[in-house]
Amino acid sequence: MNRSLSLLLSLKLGMQAGLLAGLLLLTGYSAAAPIETFKFDSPEKEKIFHKLSEELRCLVCQNQNVAESNADLAKDLRQQIYDMLSEGKTEDEIVEYMVQRYGDYVLYRPPMKPMTWLLWFGPVIGFFFGLFFVMRFMKAQSGSKQPQALSEKEIERIKNLHAEQDGK
């Protein structure tokens, strides 16, 4: 029983460490953003601009968003977002424009649809799958430690064995 407790504890610690690492990854942010100056006529537009350029993937550089990348295409896409905002387009309209041209791939937050279910729920399914095996393993371990009462047949057999030995 002690052993399974310590296993549980280490599992919990591991999960905490994993969570922390995950959070760090999520919030990990490149400080070196390319320098450009865009003038916005309202703070809302500026907010949308920053939000969009952080959520759209730079297609040529991979694993960088449009805000971080110095690639030419990222520059063009930033300009495009700025132009569309200046024309009074909404956030959704701009996202739709990008998806129409570059597909869902351009989004760092892919939409929820049957094709992306595995992407969204895969990690959770994987976690419960793993948890199931850990639990089963722990149960088997604790079970094997507790000796069960001997059946009558077994007692009989031991007696016989002793008798056999004594007889020799």
Q: How many binding residues for other proteins (CB under 8 A)? A: 17
Q: Is 80 in the site for other proteins (CB under 8 A)?
A: yes
Q: Is 48 in the site for other proteins (CB under 8 A)?
A: no
Taking each helix axis from N to C end, the angle separating 2-27 and 117-145, rounded to the nearest 10 degrees, works out to 160
The single residue among 50, 54, 102, 107 that binds other proteins, judged by CB under 8 A, is 102
Q: Is 101 in the site for other proteins (CB under 8 A)?
A: yes
70's CB contacts (< 8 A; 6+ apart) are 34
CB of 94 to other proteins, least distance (A): 12
CB of 102 to other proteins, least distance (A): 5
Interacting positions 128-147 with other proteins (CB under 8 A): 144, 147
**Full DSSP string of 116-139:** GHHHHHHHHHHHHHHHHHHHHHHH
The single residue among 59, 67, 94, 95 that binds other proteins, judged by CB under 8 A, is 59
Coil, strand, or helix at residue 50?
Answer: helix
Tokens of 37: 């100056």
Q: Which spans of this chain sit near other proteins (rule: CB under 8 A)?
A: 59-60, 62, 72-73, 76-77, 80, 99-103, 105, 144, 147-148
